[in-house]
A and B are shown apart, each in its own frame.
Chain A
Amino acid sequence: MLELLKQPWPWYIAGPIIGLTVPALLILGNKPFGISSSLRHICASCVPAKIPFFHYNWKSETWNLFFVFGIFLGGTLATAFLANLSPTEVNPALANELATYGVTNYNNLIPEDLMSWQSLFTVKGFFFMVVGGFLVGFGTRYADGCTSGHAIMGLSHLQWPSLIATVCFMIGGFIMANLILPHILSL
């Protein structure tokens, strides 16, 4: 059983359980599933400055900060007790493409060739971590939600603005991965 749990979980197991997060949070306390809000609460609690967007009662939203801290702990526990020691298996077409950019390390879920403390101060490293992170934080707040808030919670509630947001997430991702990233990776 433990050996089975250590293998990567297939989509038809993981997907439905992720979907159950929606009713779980609603039944636990009438909370809408959404993770990017935590970034706003961090701003509001640490550096609200004089920005009206960050002046609200963030203390009533601490549940969200507990939830994301739990995600962090979950990542630690999964690595400590359920780690899959074999490298990530990827589509050979992707592996071939990435090899031409010198990305060959599949030992972790993140590409260590691109994201590491050593590469942080290189152009590529700065782009993948600092620029990428900034776009995630800016974009999710501008779009009023991320994959959890729009693609899962919003679509579960049949909200058409969430469908538009989700489609735009995908369009943005396709443009970046296929048209822009190859140039950055070639640097």
Chain B
Amino acid sequence: MQQTRNNNRDTKLPEAVYTNENRLTYGWRHNTKYLVAGVLFGVLLVKSEVISWFRIQEMFRLQSFHMYGIIGSAVIVGIISVWLIKKFRIKTIDGEPITIAPKKFTKGHIYGGLIFGFGWAITGACPGPLFAQIGTGATVIAVTLLSAVAGTWVYGYFKHRLPH
């Protein structure tokens, strides 16, 4: 959407330099807000100990309510938020309508879900916490992250041969 708008502007406006500058400014502002959101989310993951291997072990052994409380209350707030956004047709800060794509079921949700569950219990981290753990100074987790990137790559390589 944005891309097409920019392209149109490019072809219509003779001042190409001005247009590029505009796009850069927009791009920087555009991505900075996600950087800030990420920082807040990262602080939250650390301080709530969601990124703790020990909390994840407790969760999978039913030894603590902590993680269930976090995920459960997050989902309730998420459900209410999405409902409000749809009901009042809330737009983005740039005035665009908000649309959420539905998820299409494949068998991958089952097979991939189980495989990720194995990995989650081993590493004590889903992808988000991996980034936060490295940030806390656990530099060796960069190896885990790199291995996760490799796992994603291998999935891409074998995708067409896997049941979906």
Residues of A within 8 A of B (CB): 5, 8-32, 35-36, 38-40, 42-43, 47, 49, 51, 53-54, 60, 62-64, 66-79, 82, 84, 88, 90-91, 93-94, 98, 106, 108-111, 114-117, 120, 127-148, 150-162, 164-178, 180-181
Q: How far is the CB of A58 from chain B (nearest CB, A)?
A: 12
- The DSSP consensus for interface residues of chain B is helix
> Quick one: which of B126-153 are within 8 Å of A by CB?
126-128, 130-141, 143-153
Digit string of B76-95 for contact with A (CB within 8 Å is 1, else 0)?
11110110110000101110
In the complex, the answer to whether A134 meets B119 with C-beta atoms within 8 Å is yes
- Could you show 11 A-B contacts with beta carbons less than 8 Å apart? A12-B69, A19-B77, A35-B128, A54-B153, A63-B31, A66-B38, A71-B41, A129-B141, A129-B147, A151-B75, A172-B120
Kindly list chain B residues whose C-beta atoms are within 8 Å of the C-beta of A132.
119, 122-123, 144, 147
- The DSSP consensus for interface residues of chain A is helix
In the complex, the answer to whether A78 meets B46 with C-beta atoms within 8 Å is yes
Which 7 residue pairs are nearest across A and B when measured between Cβ atoms?
A: A172-B117, A74-B42, A70-B38, A75-B135, A142-B112, A168-B113, A137-B151
In the complex, the answer to whether A173 meets B132 with C-beta atoms within 8 Å is no
Whole-angstrom distance between the alpha carbons of A150 and B144 in the complex? Answer: 22
| B16 contacts the other chain (CB 8 A) | no
In the complex, the answer to whether A15 meets B115 with C-beta atoms within 8 Å is no
Kindly list chain B residues whose C-beta atoms are within 8 Å of the C-beta of A49.
157
Picked from A9, A32, A79, A93, the residue with its CB within 8 Å of the CB of B137 is A79
Whole-angstrom distance between the alpha carbons of A128 and B56 in the complex? Answer: 14
In the complex, the answer to whether A133 meets B60 with C-beta atoms within 8 Å is no
| B18 contacts the other chain (CB 8 A) | no
> Quick one: which of B51-72 are within 8 Å of A by CB?
51-61, 63-67, 69-72
In the complex, the answer to whether A28 meets B38 with C-beta atoms within 8 Å is no
In the complex, the answer to whether B60 meets A14 with C-beta atoms within 8 Å is no
* Complex: chain A residue closest to B65, CB-CB: A11
| B102 contacts the other chain (CB 8 A) | yes
